[in-house]
Structure 1
Amino acid sequence: MPSGRIVEIVKGKKYQVIIEAGRNPKTGRRSSIKRTIYGRKTEAEKLCSDIIYELEHGTYIKPDKTTLAEYLRRWLKTYAINKAPSTYAGYKRIVESHIIPQLGRIELSKLQPMHIQEYYTNRLREGRRDKKGGLSAATVQRHHALLREALQHAVKWNLLYRNPADFTEPPTPEQPEIFPLEPEQLDALLEKAKGLRDEYLYIVAAYTGMREGELLSLTWNNVDLGKEPVCRVRQTVGYINGQGFVFRPTAKHKKARREIPLMEITVTALKQQKKMLAEEKLRNAKKYNKKSNLVFPDEYGNPLDPSAMTRRFKALAREAGFPQVRFHDLRHTHATMLLKAGIHPKIVQERLGHQTIGITMDTYTHVIKGLQKEAVEKMDEWLKNKKGHQMGTKEQNDRS
């Protein structure tokens, strides 16, 4: 029967767990397992009991020398590569620019919650690459989500017995601020966009709520401008350094793969876009990508550079008097207009491709609160009218 003991190395902070695992059946020598843990004594006691349990049930995993850096790079290649292009690029940037420089040398089996907690603190203080301060709580929260997901796979793949990120306390970010436009503000913005090459892209974005990657990867075979016009969202695109433009099936979740019925203004914009592309194809015939079927390509039929497009939009928004508005806020504008028009949140969720209605409700809390206030006012008015009607009926009965 294996037995264990705990030795305190640094009071209240560092412990060594020593497990007597019995005799080696081949050599006859006594074998022991030693693990150092940074944290509370209760964590050391749990580790001790966990190892003993695993030894007794034959599930103990002998730690190897794989470092966190080696594991994360392997995880990126075998798992994260299947994510949406922009998600994968973001993961790789976080891993290579932040996590590996700070934690990469630690052996995976020796990674402790305290290491990760110290990493969060460090990034909040001095995480910016320009050395001018720390990262935001929201950014560090994303680092935590990535690290927790990667380490959870290590548990599933029997490389770890528990996920150390589960025992940390990442910073709590404030609700990200969004800047939806009012209908008249959207009209002003689109008026400024008239004559610009991206004009019809902005209209479709504002009146479908599609994500940037979904719009820039949309193909004409997924657009139906007939009696019941729809856009079918089937893929996304992102630009990854070293790989260029990467197209992948919509990868967020099943709800993201959807059909979006189109409004008349959107149908008109798409017809104008098709006409513009036909003219460009003739004008740039020699250099035009004849295989292109993209709805929103560049002037040569190639994928549109998302960074350049968002820069053009920011310049337009500033000129229109809305300097804080981003391209993604056209999506928020669409959702806000639908909710204010009395469209059920479930329908809004389906148009946006949110995984759950809870995400929709949480994102647009400001609109929901306003609608609740409006509902209360309407209910008050209805009750007043009802009581007035009842009073009038009573008076008539009294006279008779």
Structure 2
Amino acid sequence: MKDPIRKITHKDGSVRYRLVVDIGVTPEGKRKQLTRTFKTKKEAVAELSRIRHELKVGTFVAPNTMTLDNLLDIWLKSATRDVEEGTASNYVSAMVPVRAHSGAKELQSLTEEDIESLIDWMLTSGRRRGGKPGTGLGVRSVRLSLGRLRAAMNLAVRRGLMTRNVAEHVTISREAKKKAEANKPPEVPWNENEVKAFIAAIQHDRLHGALMLTMIAERPAEVCGGRWEEDIDLVKGTVAVQNTRTIVYDRTLEKGSRNKVVEKETKTEAGTRVLPLPAPTIKALKSFRAIQAAEKLAAGPLYNDSGYVLVDELGNPLKTDKLRREAYRLMKVAGVRQVRLYLARHAVLSWMANNGVPDTVVSAWAGHTDLSFTKRVYVHPDPQSLKAGSEKLNELLG
């Protein structure tokens, strides 16, 4: 058998040891060989021993020049095969800063230090859209990107493209989390007085009925996806939350028109729920239905009888960004703090939890599968509930 290590003497008299070893076969059945050159025979023998051992136990990874960008292309094709369009878009977005910082680097050259450097850069300068470019991304966004990167590198290890996942044990440092939280403006849900002030301000607005759905803790996409015939029963006084209309960012479209509407069922089985409507919401929806009937009559053939609850004067369904702008307009009219509609949802769920509604009911009402998640993320103690706690302590301490 031919010796895989051959002594090479150069013209200048220097000696090198060239290793040529079989590492498998191509899909066409041709022999694949790896060639390495060393200064000493001892180094060549050690490398030959390592390669043969790894080939025997199935852990050998052949050198390649694949970049991280190449890997992410492969991973995204695999990871988005059977997911919703919105989820696929989130995966693509999560990898944008990763590609910007490290995409051109060779996969096998990456180290844990490289991934730590990437994470630090994302936290300080990684933003590309959804804010001022060049500023830091939030901890949650960076954590999601790191999770997707780990998944991509797990795929690389499984397919023999990397020896190990160098992102596996990389974390966001405690100091970085603390700094990011310090720079993040606090988001405080409305208190009871602000909720009532907002409701009073929308009483005579055309969108009163639709906005009252946000006041029973429906998500914006759920409000936009609601349909009169399939979801609203004004006789029984219920709303079936089972359809959503949300905006997805699609990079395959032309710039300026990449936001598109995607309609789908709720994310989870718990998200699909039937809620009994409070009397003020029933009244507001009946009024909104009557307004739309009059608008349909006035518009004649120009009216788009789309069947959605949240529509404009010609029956065209509104998107979540339009709902948000209308809500902000009315918050200004009401003289209350401008908060995201999700925080209005938080306010309502907190009020329910802080006023005796059982935790299981609050979680089911919110459309959550995890009771602890509802309590941890959505339920906030407010001054009124804290005062109630103080009054209760009077019985113990009095």
TM-score, normalization: structure 1?
0.71
Answer whether contact 1:245 1:303 (CA < 8 A) is retained: no
Instruction: Give the whole-Å Cα distance in 2 for the aligned partners of 1:186 and 1:163.
Output: 49
Q: 1:289 aligns with which of 285, 304, 314?
A: 304
Answer whether contact 1:91 1:146 (CA < 8 A) is retained: yes
Aligned-residue offset at 1:277: 2.3
Instruction: After superposing the two structures, state which structure 1 stretch, 56-65 or 306-315, moved more.
Output: 56-65
Aligned-residue offset at 1:348: 1.0
CA shift in 2, pair 1:219/1:240, >3 Å: farther
Aligned-residue offset at 1:30: 8.0
Aligned-residue offset at 1:90: 4.2
| Matched position secondary structure for 2:262 | strand
Which residue does the alignment assign to 2:69? 69
Answer whether contact 1:109 1:160 (CA < 8 A) is retained: yes
Answer whether contact 1:84 1:237 (CA < 8 A) is retained: no
Which residue does the alignment assign to 2:227? 219
CA shift in 2, pair 1:29/1:237, >3 Å: closer
Q: 2:265 aligns with which of 229, 249, 265?
A: 249
Which residue does the alignment assign to 1:116? 115
Residues 235-314 of structure 1 correspond to what in structure 2 (within 5 A)? Answer: 235-241=244-250, 242=253, 244-251=260-267, 253-290=268-305, 292-314=306-328
Instruction: Give the whole-Å Cα distance in 2 for the aligned partners of 1:322 and 1:114.
Output: 47
Answer whether contact 2:242 2:265 (CA < 8 A) is retained: no
CA shift in 2, pair 1:84/1:179, >3 Å: farther
Aligned-residue offset at 1:165: 2.7
TM-score, normalization: structure 2?
0.72
Instruction: After superposing the two structures, state which structure 1 stretch, 261-270 or 146-155, moved more.
Output: 146-155
Match of 1:184, as an amino acid?
A: N
Instruction: After superposing the two structures, state which structure 1 stretch, 119-128 or 326-335, moved more.
Output: 119-128
Q: Aligned pair 1:339/2:353, yes or no?
A: yes
Q: Identify unmatched segments of 5+ residues in structure 2.
A: 1-18, 38-49
Match of 1:250, as an amino acid?
A: T
Aligned-residue offset at 1:169: 1.6
Match of 1:95, as an amino acid?
A: M
Answer whether contact 1:339 1:345 (CA < 8 A) is retained: yes
Instruction: Give the whole-Å Cα distance in 1 for the aligned partners of 2:207 and 2:52.
Output: 64
Aligned-residue offset at 1:342: 0.8
Q: Percent identity?
A: 26
Answer whether contact 1:339 1:367 (CA < 8 A) is retained: no
In the TM superposition, what whole-angstrom CA distance separates every residue of 1:61-93 from its partner, at most 9, and x where no partner exists?
656554332443454455347655555444433
Aligned-residue offset at 1:289: 2.7
Which residue does the alignment assign to 1:389? none
Answer whether contact 2:270 2:364 (CA < 8 A) is retained: yes
Which residue does the alignment assign to 1:390? none
Answer whether contact 2:126 2:137 (CA < 8 A) is retained: yes
Answer whether contact 1:240 1:246 (CA < 8 A) is retained: no
Instruction: Give the whole-Å Cα distance in 1 for the aligned partners of 2:206 and 2:76.
Output: 37
Residues 372-387 of structure 1 correspond to what in structure 2 (within 5 A)? Answer: 374-375=388-389, 377-378=391-392, 381=395
CA shift in 2, pair 1:187/1:21, >3 Å: farther
Aligned-residue offset at 1:299: 3.0
Q: Aligned pair 1:165/2:173, yes or no?
A: no
In the TM superposition, what whole-angstrom CA distance separates every residue of 1:108-149 from its partner, at most 9, and x where no partner exists?
455433222111211233234455643343443343244334
Match of 2:335, as an amino acid?
A: G
In the TM superposition, what whole-angstrom CA distance separates every residue of 1:188-227 from its partner, at most 9, and x where no partner exists?
11222233333222211112x1111121112220223333
Residues 1-400 of structure 1 correspond to what in structure 2 (within 5 A)? Answer: 55-58=55-58, 60=60, 62=62, 65-80=65-80, 83=83, 86-96=86-96, 98-129=97-128, 130=132, 133-152=135-154, 162-170=164-172, 171-172=176-177, 174=181, 177-207=186-216, 209-220=217-228, 221-227=230-236, 229-241=238-250, 242=253, 244-251=260-267, 253-290=268-305, 292-364=306-378, 366-367=380-381, 374-375=388-389, 377-378=391-392, 381=395
| Matched position secondary structure for 1:378 | helix
Pairwise CA RMSD: 3.8
Match of 2:72, as an amino acid?
A: L
Instruction: Give the whole-Å Cα distance in 1 for the aligned partners of 2:287 and 2:81.
Output: 37
CA shift in 2, pair 1:317/1:134, >3 Å: same
Instruction: Give the whole-Å Cα distance in 2 for the aligned partners of 1:25 and 1:149.
Output: 27
Q: Identify unmatched segments of 5+ residues in structure 1.
A: 1-19, 35-49, 385-400
Aligned-residue offset at 1:229: 2.1
CA shift in 2, pair 1:263/1:134, >3 Å: same
Aligned-residue offset at 1:362: 1.2
Instruction: Give the whole-Å Cα distance in 1 for the aligned partners of 2:375 and 2:53.
Output: 44
Instruction: Give the whole-Å Cα distance in 2 for the aligned partners of 1:347 and 1:21.
Output: 69
CA shift in 2, pair 1:304/1:327, >3 Å: same
| Matched position secondary structure for 2:171 | coil
Instruction: Give the whole-Å Cα distance in 1 for the aligned partners of 2:78 and 2:298.
Output: 44
CA shift in 2, pair 1:111/1:281, >3 Å: farther
Match of 2:377, as an amino acid?
A: T
Aligned-residue offset at 1:250: 2.0
Answer whether contact 1:314 1:323 (CA < 8 A) is retained: no
Answer whether contact 2:237 2:282 (CA < 8 A) is retained: no
In the TM superposition, what whole-angstrom CA distance separates every residue of 1:241-298 from its partner, at most 9, and x where no partner exists?
43621112223x33222222322222222222222222232233333333x2212133
Aligned-residue offset at 1:376: 7.0
Instruction: Give the whole-Å Cα distance in 1 for the aligned partners of 2:325 and 2:53.
Output: 57
